[in-house]
Structure 1
Amino acid sequence: MSDVADRAEWRIEKDLQNARAHVMKKPTLDSDGHCHFCDEQIAHGRLFCNADCRDDYDKEQAALRRAGA
């Protein structure tokens, strides 16, 4: 009986680890030719048009995480 309980406990721990990893994973951005903050057209391979947009985007995302969104 302890084998079944041990496997169940192991499975629960793995599920919790996976859930924590999913929550903590930072979403990745894809370069689509537009700034991810102001939507200005930019060169492919870039994510933001300048450092100000990048910083503002980071601040906005941090505020959303704090708000639980």
Structure 2
Amino acid sequence: MSDVADRAEWRIAKDIENAMARARKMPQLVADGHCHYCDEQIAHGFLFCNTDCRDDYQSEQEAKRCAGR
């Protein structure tokens, strides 16, 4: 008979597995030389021109997720 620790370990492993599967399904941003928030031209390899744009983009995306879009 499994004990509480074994069940907790199994639950944690399942939660991690499910979270990783969801993360793999989420679309990823591609660095295209423009900020994904303000469309300012930036160096290749970057997604945002600064931390403010990154934070604003993440806040906007979270609000959309909460609104069901």
Corresponding position of 2:45: 45
Which runs of structure 1 show a deviation greater than 3 angstroms over 4 or more consecutive aligned residues?
21-25
Q: How many residues align?
A: 50
Amino acid at match of 2:58: D
Decide which structure has the larger Cα Rg and report it.
1
- Whether 1:62 aligns to 2:68 is no
1:67 and 1:23 map into 2 onto residues whose CA distance is 19
User: What CA deviation, in whole Å up to 9, does each residue of 1:32-67 have, x standing for no partner?
Assistant: 000000000000000000000000000000000000
Unaligned residue ranges in structure 2 (runs of 5+) = 1-20
% identical aligned pairs: 67
| Cα RMSD (Å) | 2.2
TM-score, normalised relative to structure 1: 0.64
Corresponding position of 2:31: 31
Amino acid at match of 2:35: C
Call closer, same or farther: CA 1:59–1:24 in 2, change over 3 Å. farther
Call closer, same or farther: CA 1:24–1:65 in 2, change over 3 Å. farther
TM-score, normalised relative to structure 2: 0.64
Unaligned residue ranges in structure 1 (runs of 5+) = 1-20
